[in-house]
Every structure is written in C-alpha cells, then in structure tokens.
Amino acid sequence: MTNDELLVLIEKTSSDNEITLDLTNEGLTEIPPEIGMLTQLRGLHLDNNQLTSLPPEIGKLTNLTLLDIGRNQLTNVPPEMGQLTQLKTLFLWKNKITVLPPEIGLLNNLDKLYLGWNKLITLPPEICQLNNLTQFYMISNEITSLPPEINQLTKLKRLGLSNNKITILPSNCCLLKKLTNFSISGNLLTSLPPDIGQFSNVTELFLHNNQLTSLPTSIGQLLSLKVCDLHNNQLENIPPEIGYLKQLTKLDLHNNQLKSIPPEIGQLNNLNVLNIENNPLTTLPPEIYNNNIELDIIGVPEEKTTHQTDKKPQSKRGLLDKFLFKTKNLVKMFL
C-alpha cells in the first residue's frame, strides 16, 4: 500500500466512523501523522509490516482498546502511547525494541501485554503499575533481572519470562497469588527462592533449560501444580516434599544429574508421565509403582531396583494385565 492509498483509507475510515482499521501485511514503512484523525478507533492492526517508528499522533487514539504492532522493525515506543488509557490488549512482539518508556505505566486498563522477541535488557519499574494486567509475556529478550515492584501486578495469571538472561528470581515475585502459569525456562537460574511455595495457584511451572542444582523444600506447597518441567538442569536430588503435590500429572526431570528418586513420588496418584531419561540413576524405589497403575515412566534405569530383585518392579498395570489374562483362561476352562 502506497502512502497516498493509506491517506485515502484513513480519510474514508474517519468519514465512515469505523471503529476498526486493519493494515496487517500491507508493506508499510511508516504511518502518517494523519492517523491521529481516527479518534473513534477501538482496534488498530499494524502487524507484519516494516515499520521502524510510530508517529506521536498515535497518542490521540484514546478510544483504542486493542493495538497490534507485532512483527515490525520498531526500536522504541513513543511516550505518547501512555495516553492510550483505554487500551486492554497491546501486541509489541517480534520487533527490535531495546527500551520501554516509563509512560507505559499509565496504561492502567491494560489486560494483556505481549513483548516477546525483542531486544529488551531491562523493564522500567513503572510497568509494575499495570495493576489490571492478567497476561504478561516477555519471552526471548535479553532481560537480566526483574523490577522489585513486580509483586504489585496482583491480578497477573500468566507470566512468560522464557529465554532471557535472568540469574535470580526475586522472592517478591512469589507474592503473585493469582498466578496460574509461570514460565522462566531458558534462563541462568542456579537456585529458586525459598518462598516459591507461595505460588499457591500455579498449575503449570516451566523451569527447564536453567542451571538449577537443587529445589527448595517449599516446592511441596504448590498444591495446585499439575505440570512441572525441570528438564535440562543440573539437579542432583529432588526433595521428598515433592510427594505432597497430589494434583501433579506430569513431571519432567530428564537431562539432570539425579542419582536417586525419592520414594515419596509414589504418593502422586494423579501422575501420568514421569520422564527421568539421561540421569545417572541405577535404581528406582519400589514405592514409585505402588499407587498408580496409569504412570508412564520414561527412562527406567536398566540396573536392579532398590528392593534388589533381578527385575524392575512391575507397575499395577502390568500385574493387572497378567491377572486378567489368567482370569480369561480360567473362564475358558469353565465354558
């Protein structure tokens, strides 16, 4: 779309009082100041173009509730964007943004913020003023730390921090009581805060591809947890408190340094998948098979188990199959 064609479209959108303008994938390299005429707009789609900047007049679109500027070449965000106080959803993913203006903290109605695949190193503390935010994704940036005020995002339900350069997870992050999905995989974590057990509503926890060597015992307080991914770390042991996670359905521990598995894992009656591949394990405790006939264990060690039999302990599923086979033969004898 040429600049002249865009100006004509802006004029028509204004005269027709349309509330949505979709300029997705139009090959645009700039947005003219005339965009500021469209004060009635509620949705503006500028994704998948070649934009390197936005005009300050973008701040005049004060009725916008959705703004999508993903998949462009933006290196910064104009401070005037802070005037879009009705905005609920903001897509800035897949750009080249290196810094966010403090004015972003003025978007107090923002519900979803997507900042993935940019060049961000830090976040302004003002971003923690977005107290209506429920979904916040910063995947694949270069962030090294989180602002200490992050616990002010009290409505946050989903937080994506994967593939950054974060070395420490601050304890106050664990005060996000409404968080249900937390991903901080692909960072540089060597430990977790002792307060991680305060994530009382987290159902999915992704900690893989870090450098963790141990887990705090408070992980046993994550009573809502259903999926826990810890693969590709340096874990040498798992605390027995893991046995308290009665809702857990998937536990991925492959590619660690585990030499033993706590027998308390046998208490996880809802566990469907346990991946322990590529660990220096030689045995499994027999308790692991005791209460769960549905458990699929990936990477069972070949050596003897802890009860010193020449075979791996059979799961209840295997015993049940044998019982049913014998029962069927018995029935045939009486027919």
Q: What's the pTM value of the predicted model, to 2 decimals?
A: 0.85
| pLDDT tens for each residue of 225-264 | 999 999 999 999 999 999 999 999 999 999 999 999 999 9
1-143: CATH topology is 3.80.10
- For residue 322, the model assigns a pLDDT of 38
- Enclosing H/E stretch for 3: helix 3-15
Cα 257–chain centre separation: 25
Q: Which residue has the higher pLDDT, 329 or 43?
A: 43
Exposure string over 1-40, b if 16+ CB within 10 A, otherwise e: eeeeebeeebeebbeeeeeebebeebebeebeeebbbbee
Res. 292 pLDDT band, cuts 50 70 90? low
If one compares 311 and 91, the residue with the highest pLDDT of the two is: 91
Mean pLDDT, rounded, for 299-328:
47
Q: Which amino acid, 46? A: L
pLDDT of residue 291: 66
Region 199-211: what's the mean pLDDT? 96
Q: Give the CA angle between residues 193, 255, 167 to the nearest 5°.
A: 30
Q: pLDDT for 32-69, tens place per residue? A: 999 999 999 999 999 999 999 999 999 999 999 999 99
Tokens of 258: 């585990």
| Confidence check: pLDDT of 186 > 80 | yes
What per-residue confidence (pLDDT) applies to 294? 77
Q: Where in the chain is the domain with CATH 3.80.10.10?
A: 1-143, 235-335
Would you identify the CATH topology of the domain 235-335? 3.80.10
Regarding predicted confidence, which is higher, 216 or 311?
216
Predicted local distance difference test score (pLDDT) of residue 303:
56
CA distance 294 to 165: 38
Distance CA(150)–CA(133), nearest Å, equals: 11
